[in-house]
């Protein structure tokens, strides 16, 4: 009974709505549980996993070397100097934390909007958030020069009798990012508890039973527990939504509060948030495509997921494009300021103008291909697009940080910025760390929430038409 | 905790959530109160059937959030006005708009932690031992694909023989007596 002009009998289409299914037909509570838990509980680890882990481990080693050398020599091994005192560290910090935001968006905002298609991708999107925040949080810490004194940022009574200065956005960052990291971890763990219970009950090895047993905290699926659990999840989602908006807003304040042309603009908070979601969804696709292929999860991460994420990326990409346009409008014309005008001219046509055009190509021009349905439904093309967008988003931060700083008011103090090998090594190292943590995650934890997938099954519907006991015998 | 012996309750196993909800509703209607349903995913109808509607997680969350808000805002004020007053570009010591941001973050932090840990505490988790795990079919099914109704022996209406007959009336897969 297809109601739209869709080919009949396509098992991946919902016969009632004609939409793509979120989960392939024929699954039962048992098959869903089996499929997901087997990935974790198998004693046979795929060889590709070891290969990937080894490769990512190489990146982690590089990061360790780069950071050790940094601690020995100081931040002078990076390219940062006057006038560009904020280089890769801040670019990477903003880039990583932006990537994390899509995880929160998927798990929180889409939960509030009752977008049930998100159920199968929210777990690893949340994991992505946490790992991205780990990578992000490292940068300001190693950038402070004396990282062993990083705890001075927190207000605590000390013998020096000094306290932090609460009027600085940099300190707001400390609270925003630490809250974000904490809430993300808690939200993720709370979401994991029922699935950890499943793993505890299904695992055969003593070690796994013990480990998952402790982690599951004795979860037994009582409906009273479920009611409180659902309330807590909803509340956490409701809290994470304003949180995620505030985090990138506060990060944009790091720039916007400064009186520097190119930074001092009110458009920053909304367009930073949109950019964060944009790059985060791109990263979800980067991760989802190989995972569904490698673990044969095409029937729970369906084409509908890829297409919906394409739509979100298109939308947030347009918001970002609007932000860029507004920046140009404000500096060229509206501000009537010579300095603003020069900054924008220099950003586009100065010695580093190429970076601006990379950004425009990757973030505005090419993503317009996602207007085409055929493009959004083409998995390899979307995979490539996700890399293009994240390149563009990295360059957005590069443009904001470097091209605003390297030629400021006085031509005699102009300089340039050329990243050193340690800059690149640290950045590439965090990519390795991110991948490494993700590999561990897909091996040891259920990457798709089983309990939430069960809700999506048609069997989960309560049928009131009970012939034996229609309205209970009272 | 005193060591308890004897029967914890009778555990009926069902294949579908609809059967469970119907059984739970009838049990509640015939006067059973100390009972619980166990499902592999949230089944709100089952909670409603056994008369569980209100949970206090939201209240804890609200209180936690207010605590975080007040704590951070007063900490900032105390530090900036009394403990360590600094002249930052001539701004007033009591720069409340700037204090809003960390106070906002701590509101969310405390509210979120209260919701999460409050939920666990109200649920009595972590709990390393529970008699239901003595039942093999519970271990195999409760977190995977089966639906359980447990009538607990502490209920005044509970009687091993009578309650078993009552449960068997719903055609469950099995009815098992669970020991402490």
Q: Mind listing the pLDDT tens digit for each residue in A240-263?
A: 889 988 998 999 998 888 888 888
Q: How far apart are CA A308 and CA A229, in angstroms?
A: 28
Interface contact B42-A175, CB threshold 8 A:
no
Rounded to 5 degrees, φ, ψ at B153 are -70, -15
Residue to substitute from B108, B114, B128, B171, interface A, most A β-carbons within 10 A: B108
Neighbours of B6 (CB within 10 A): 8
Tell me the two tokens of residue A53.
């882990």
Range with the largest mean pLDDT of A220-224, A270-274, A339-343, B78-82: B78-82
Q: pLDDT tens digit string along A274-330?
A: 998 899 889 989 988 988 888 888 877 888 888 888 998 999 999 999 999 998 998
Place of tokens 């804890």: B60
Q: pLDDT tens digit string along A95-153?
A: 999 898 888 888 888 878 777 777 778 888 889 999 999 999 899 888 888 888 888 88
The 3-class secondary structure across A407-445, one letter per residue, is: CCCCHHHCCCCCCCHHHHHHHHHHHHHHHHHHHHHHHHC
Q: List, as one string, the DSSP characters of A305-371.
A: HHHHHHHHHHHHHHHHHHHHHHHHHIIIIIS--HHHHHHHHHHHHSTTHHHHHHHHIIIIIGGGGGG
pLDDT at A368: 93
Q: List, as one string, the DSSP characters of A92-119.
A: HHHHHHHHHHHHHIIIIIHHHTT-GGGG
Task: Give B4→chain A minimum CA distance, Å.
Answer: 19
Instruction: Spell out a b/e string for B8-32, using b for 16 or more CB atoms within 10 Å of the CB, else e.
Output: bbbbbbbebbbbbbbbbbbbbeeeb
Residue to substitute from A120, A188, A210, A222, interface B, most B β-carbons within 10 A: A222
HSE-CB for B124 with a 13 A CA cutoff:
9
What is the average per-residue pLDDT within A186-205?
A: 89
Interface contact A223-B42, CB threshold 8 A:
yes
Interface contact B37-A179, CB threshold 8 A:
no
Interface contact B52-A240, CB threshold 8 A:
no
- For residues A368 and A359, the answer to whether their CB atoms sit within 8 Å is no
The sign of the torsion formed by the CA atoms of A325, A331, A333, A334 equals: positive
Task: Give A396→chain B minimum CA distance, Å.
Answer: 25
Cα A137 from chain centroid (whole Å): 13
pLDDT at A13: 67
Report pTM: 0.88
Nearest residue in chain A measured CA to CA from B118: A232
Bigger pLDDT: A113 vs A400:
A400
The residues that bridge with B179 in the sheet, in sequence order, are B7
CA dihedral B39, B44, B48, B52 (to 10 degrees): 80
DSSP, collapsed to helix, strand or coil, labels residue A20 as strand
Q: How far apart are CA A74 and CA B16, in angstroms?
A: 63
Task: Give B89→chain A minimum CA distance, Å.
Answer: 10
HSE-CB for A423 with a 13 A CA cutoff:
17
Instruction: Give the largest CA-CA distance in chain B.
Output: 82
Q: Could you report the predicted ipTM of this complex, rounded to two decimals?
A: 0.92
Interface contact A217-B125, CB threshold 8 A:
yes
* Contacts (Cβ under 8 Å, ≥6 apart) of B82: none
Task: Give A217→chain B minimum CA distance, Å.
Answer: 4
Predicted confidence band of residue A65 (pLDDT cuts 50, 70, 90):
very high
Q: How far apart are CA A68 and CA A23, in angstroms?
A: 47
Looking at chain A, the whole-number percentage of residues with pLDDT higher than 70 is 93
Predicted confidence band of residue B94 (pLDDT cuts 50, 70, 90):
very high
- For residues A309 and A280, the answer to whether their CB atoms sit within 8 Å is no
Residue to substitute from B100, B144, B146, B149, interface A, most A β-carbons within 10 A: B144
The helix (H) or strand (E) run that includes residue B149 is strand B147-152
């Amino acid at each position: 009974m297809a109601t739209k002009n869709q080919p009949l009998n396509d098992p991946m289409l919902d016969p009632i709505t004609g939409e793509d299914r979120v989960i392939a037909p024929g699954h039962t509570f048992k098959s869903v549980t089996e499929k997901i838990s087997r990935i974790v509980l198998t004693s046979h680890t795929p060889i590709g996993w070891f290969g990937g882990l080894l490769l990512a481990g190489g990146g982690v080693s590089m990061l360790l070397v780069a950071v050790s050398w940094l601690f020995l020599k100081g931040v002078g091994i990076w390219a940062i100097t006057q006038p560009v005192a904020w280089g890769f560290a801040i670019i990477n910090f903003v880039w990583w934390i932006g990537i994390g935001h899509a995880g929160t968006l998927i798990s929180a905002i889409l939960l509030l909007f009752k977008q049930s298609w998100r159920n199968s991708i929210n777990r690893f999107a949340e994991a992505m958030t946490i790992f991205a925040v780990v990578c992000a949080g490292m940068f300001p810490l190693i950038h402070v020069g004396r990282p062993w004194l990083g705890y001075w940022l927190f207000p605590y009574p000390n013998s020096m009798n000094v306290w932090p200065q609460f009027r600085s956005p940099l300190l707001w960052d400390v609270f925003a990012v630490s809250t974000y990291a904490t809430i993300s971890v808690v939200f993720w763990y709370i979401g994991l508890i029922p699935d950890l219970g499943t793993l505890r009950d299904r695992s055969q090895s003593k070690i796994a039973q013990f480990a998952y047993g402790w982690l599951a905290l004795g979860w037994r699926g009582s409906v009273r527990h479920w009611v409180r659990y659902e309330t807590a999840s909803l509340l956490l989602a409701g809290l994470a939504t304003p949180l995620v908006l505030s985090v990138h807003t506060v990060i944009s304040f790091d720039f916007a509060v400064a009186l520097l042309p190119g930074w001092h603009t009110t458009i920053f908070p909304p367009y930073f948030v949109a950019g964060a979601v944009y790059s985060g969804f791109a990263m979800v696709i980067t991760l989802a495509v190989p995972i569904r292929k490698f673990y044969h999860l095409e029937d729970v991460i369906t084409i509908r997921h890829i297409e919906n994420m394409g739509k979100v990326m298109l939308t947030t990409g347009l918001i970002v494009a609007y932000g860029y346009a507004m920046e140009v409008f404000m500096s060229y014309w509206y501000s009537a300021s010579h300095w603003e005008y020069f900054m924008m001219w220099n950003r586009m046509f100065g010695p580093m103008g190429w970076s601006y055009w990379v950004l425009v190509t990757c973030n505005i021009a090419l993503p317009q291909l996602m207007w085409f349905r055929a493009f959004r439904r083409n998995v390899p093309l979307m995979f490539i697009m996700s890399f293009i967008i994240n390149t563009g988003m990295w360059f957005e931060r590069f443009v904001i940080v470097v091209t605003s700083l390297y030629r400021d008011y006085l031509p005699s103090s102009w300089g340039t910025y050329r990243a050193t090998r340690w800059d690149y090594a640290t950045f590439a190292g965090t990519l390795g760390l991110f991948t490494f943590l993700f590999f561990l995650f897909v091996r040891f934890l259920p990457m798709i929430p089983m309990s939430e997938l069960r809700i999506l099954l048609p069997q989960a519907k309560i049928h009131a038409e009970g012939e034996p006991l229609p309205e209970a015998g009272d | 905790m005193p060591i308890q012996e004897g029967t914890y309750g009778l555990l009926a196993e069902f294949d579908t959530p609809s059967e469970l909800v119907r059984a739970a509703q009838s049990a509640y209607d015939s006067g059973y109160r100390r009972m619980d349903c166990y499902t592999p995913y949230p089944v709100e109808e089952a909670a409603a059937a056994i008369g569980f509607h209100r949970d206090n997680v939201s209240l804890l969350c609200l209180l936690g959030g207010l605590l975080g808000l007040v704590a951070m805002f007063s900490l900032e004020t105390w530090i900036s006005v009394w403990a360590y007053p600094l002249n930052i570009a001539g701004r007033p010591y009591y720069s409340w708009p700037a204090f809003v941001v960390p106070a906002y973050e701590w509101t969310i932090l405390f509210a979120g932690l209260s919701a999460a840990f409050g939920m666990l505490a109200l649920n009595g988790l972590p709990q390393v031992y529970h008699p239901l795990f003595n039942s093999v079919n519970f271990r195999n099914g409760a977190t995977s694909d089966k639906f359980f109704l447990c009538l607990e022996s502490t209920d005044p209406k509970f009687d091993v023989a009578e309650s078993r007959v009552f449960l068997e009336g719903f055609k469950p897969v099995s009815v098992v007596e669970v020991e402490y």
